Amino acid sequence: MGESGAPAGDAEGPAPGEGAEPKDDVRIEACAVDAATGKPSMEITVTNSAAWRVAYQLDIAFVTPVRVSFGDHGLATSPLEPGQSITTTADGILPLGGHVTCKVTQVTRTPR
């Protein structure tokens, strides 16, 4: 699914607002490791492409070169109106240091 700087779905998939699947409504804007703490973080933007009010549940992961996946986390949004976006930051809880790739592994969209 999505990696840093790319939609959470295929790069060729529909843009938010074009009848996209839930995973296509998510974009990783930034992926970084704090130099002082070694903890990873990612900035994520979610845009509701549905025609109704929905909330999103995201499963995210920080992937290091020595581990396939580390620290799967859940992240939920408040309900978003059609076309509304929200940007949030997800922080890892353990220091990983070095190179980290941020991924969104699953997206669920629930009517509210």
List, in order, residues 6 or more apart from 90 with CB less than 8 Å away: 41, 42, 44, 60, 73, 75
**CATH code of residue 57:** 2.60.40
- Please give the pLDDT value at position 70: 62
pLDDT tens-place values along the chain, 112 residues long? 445 444 443 333 344 444 579 999 999 999 999 999 988 999 999 999 999 999 999 999 998 887 656 666 788 999 999 999 999 999 888 888 788 999 999 999 999 9
- Please give the pLDDT value at position 88: 95
Range of the domain at 25: 2-111
Amino acid identity for residue 27 in this structure: R
Q: Is 98 helix (H, G, I), strand (E, B) or coil?
A: coil
Distance CA 27, CA 16 (A): 9
Give the single-character DSSP code of 17. T
Count CA atoms within 13 Å of residue 95 on its CB side.
Answer: 6
